[in-house]
Amino acid sequence: MTGKTTATLREVAAAKEVSSATTEIPSKTEIPSASTEAPSATMASSPGPTSLSFVDCVAAVSSTDKSGIDAISALPGKLQQNRPELAKILESSAVRTKLDTYARQDAEAVRQQTQLVEEATRANVCLAAVGVTSGVILAVSALPADSHPIQYLTLALGVVTLLLGAAAAFFTYVARDQGRVGRWQTCRGEAEIDRLAVFRTVAAKAADKGADVALAGLALVSVHLLDDQRKWLGARASRHRSSSETTSRLGGIASSLAFIGGSGAIIASQKASAVWIVLAGVVGAAVGAYASNRDALRRDRANAERYENTEVALNGLAGRIDEMAEQIVAGEPKALVVFTETVCDLLSTEHKQWLEGTAQAAASLEKLDAQLKQAKAESGGGVTAGTVPMSEGSATQQAKAEGGGQEPGRGH
């Protein structure tokens, strides 16, 4: 009996030792996580971590086949289920009003730009043709004039020259009288103000709704403002570079023809039948004037350089998207507002530089007028019917009065 009692007491003591050892080692479920042990001050002040991922938000705002500001009106229906708060913001009257005014101003700016380029180009082509036909007349007049075909040819070329001069005057007058440069500047400026206002409004409202909505707003700004403008600037810079190369080739052709005409004058002085060689110089002068006017109207190199510089700056901002997303996830939704304002300020600066450069378009109209007057003087007043005198105040001053001081330029 005593042996059994002693064994029982030993078992009880051993059980107590095991129990005490177990209580000294915490289980895995009781080990606190790193966030529980040392929560950051940012997370402590946040209403709660976002339940979304930035990749999911980007996929959600990219669910439409449109891009840029054109996608904004189509997105609410796509976001109703997964991002209802952002969809509600996009359907708000503040955003819809800016979208409507942007659409109107953008359409009018594109129309004015298209008309200006078409009318100025037609006038420029007509003036170049006037130079060519005038040179042909001079060359033909050097031939024996007792031949009826030569007389008829000279008369026909004279009529063609008059008609071309009249057409150039017509197109130049319409472009200047309609104030196309000023109207283009004004409408484009208003459209860009409304474009940026859409994203500024969305960013401010999304930031007020908390981290979840702010993260979706960042995806919207990233995809449809930042990335869209980067693609647009890159494509437009490439197009301007290509157009600039075309202008340079025309200038090269003009230089070559001028050399042939100048050198051929020596030959023509020795042999009257070689007078046609001199015609190359006249044609070269006409082509050179066309290339010069084309460069003043389009400003390809200046625009390409400005677009490329702006694209580089936007690429730098694009590289910080993840950083902005992390700040929003950490409970700082106002980071969206700061980022959006930075992008908008950069685009506004680019547009102001574009506005300063569009004065060259007005100057090109003045140059066309001057060339028309010169053609009229050289033909002895033959194109008087088609020539319109300049009104008081230059076209440049008119453009500045109507369109100066306005807020990029999409479509320029």
Cβ neighbours of 231 (radius 10 Å):
13
Q: For the chain, what percent of residues have pLDDT higher than 70?
A: 69
In a domain, 14, yes or no: no
**Is residue 267 a contact partner of residue 274, using CB atoms and an 8 Å limit?**
yes
Residue 56 vs residues 79, 215, 289: alpha-carbon distances, Å: 12, 10, 56
Strand, helix or coil for residue 292: helix
**Domain assignment of residue 328, yes or no:** yes
Residue 293 has pLDDT above 70, yes or no: yes
Placement of tokens 């693609």 in the chain: 231
235 assigned to some structural domain: yes
Res 148 pLDDT > 80: no
Q: Which of 247-251, 322-326, 396-400 has the lowest mean pLDDT?
A: 396-400
Domain that holds residue 117: 70-388
Flag whether 303 is in a domain.
yes
Indicate the pLDDT class of residue 13, thresholds 50, 70 and 90. Answer: very low
Residue 321 three-state SS: helix
Write down the pTM of the prediction: 0.71
More confident residue, 40 or 317: 317
pLDDT of residue 196: 95
Q: Is the pLDDT reported for residue 386 higher than 60?
A: no
Type of residue numbered 212? D
Give residue 394's pLDDT band: very low, low, confident or very high (50, 70, 90). Answer: very low
Q: What is the pLDDT of residues 42-98, one digit of tens each?
A: 333 334 445 568 999 999 999 888 999 999 999 998 898 889 999 999 999 999 999
14 vs 76, higher pLDDT: 76
Q: Does pLDDT of 36 surpass 50?
A: no
- On whether residue 53 sits in a domain, the answer given is no
- Cβ-based burial of 4 (10 A; exposed 0-12, middle 13-18, buried ≥19): exposed
Number of domains in the chain: 1
First to last CA, the chain: 108
- Cβ pair 412, 233 in contact under 8 A: no
56 in any annotated domain = no
The answer to whether residue 93 is domain-embedded is yes
148 is a domain residue = yes
Instruction: Find all residues with CB under 8 Å of 319, minimum gap 6, and list them.
Output: none
pLDDT tens-digit readout, 255-285? 998 888 877 766 666 666 666 777 888 888 8
Q: Model confidence at 4, in pLDDT bands (50, 70, 90)?
A: very low
What is the sign of the dihedral through the CA atoms of 394, 400, 403 and 409?
Answer: positive
Assess whether pLDDT exceeds 50 at residue 405.
Answer: no
Which of 322, 319, 311 has the alpha carbon at shortest distance from 346? 311
Looking at residue 27, the DSSP 8-state letter turns out to be -
The pLDDT score that the predictor gives to residue 322 is 93
pLDDT of residue 362: 59
Six token digits for residue 272: 């009257």
- Asked whether the predicted pLDDT for residue 400 surpasses 50, the reply is no
Q: Lowest mean pLDDT: which of 69-73, 134-138, 305-309, 356-360?
A: 356-360
Decide: residue 119, CB within 10 A, 0-12 exposed, 13-18 middle, 19+ buried.
buried
Own/partner pairs for 251-254, CB < 8 Å, 24+ apart?
251/288, 251/291, 251/292, 253/284, 253/287, 254/284, 254/285, 254/287, 254/288, 254/291
**Per-residue pLDDT reduced to its tens digit, 306-352:** 999 999 999 999 999 999 999 999 999 999 999 999 999 999 988 88
Q: What is the pLDDT of residue 17?
A: 44
- pLDDT per residue over 154-164, tens digit each? 889 889 999 99
**Segment 185-236, tens digit of pLDDT:** 889 989 999 999 999 999 999 999 999 999 999 999 999 999 999 999 999 9
Checking if the pLDDT of 305 tops 80, the result is yes
